[in-house]
Structures are given as C-alpha cells and as structure tokens.
Copies of this chain bind each other. A is one copy, B any other.
Amino acid sequence: MCEANAYIVDEKGDNTLVMEAVDLVEPEEDGVKLISIFGEQKFLKAKIHSLSLVDHKIFLKSDG
C-alpha cells in the first residue's frame, strides 16, 4: 500500500504530522482535503509544499 503521512512544514522547517495513511489529496480553493485509507477526512487551510512518494511523505505549508 502506498498511502503516505501528511506533515505541515513550518517556517523553521520543522514538520508536524497531521494525518497518517493518506490515500487521496484534493487541493481546493482555500485549502486541501486529505482522505485516509480508513475513510477519515480532514480539511486543512494549507497548500501542498512538496511530495516525496518513495518516502511516503506529503509536505503541506499552512496558509494561515
């Protein structure tokens, strides 16, 4: 399974885990929707900073 963990990257470059086992990622106008392999949904006021798929990592940056 190729789900990934999603992290918020802050200005200092530190990462905070916001969701594990993310399957679907849908950028929307004012944020990003994450849906895990368990069907859990989370909406964050953030944008995609980068993806590192082989490492199973999604990096987000907060909009706020």
Count of this chain's copies in the oligomeric assembly = 2
Q: How far is the CA of A54 from the CA of B27 in the complex (A)?
A: 17
Q: Which of B25, B37, B52 contacts A51 (CB 8 A)?
A: B25
In the complex formed, the residue of B with least CB distance to A24 is: B52
Contact A25 B53 (CB under 8 A): yes
**Which residues of A (9-24) have their CB < 8 Å from a CB of B?**
22-24
In the complex formed, the residue of B with least CB distance to A1 is: B54
Give the most central of A3, A24, A58: most B CB within 10 Å.
A24
In the A-B complex, the 8 residue pairs with the closest CB atoms:
A2-B2, A25-B51, A23-B54, A26-B50, A2-B53, A23-B53, A3-B53, A4-B53
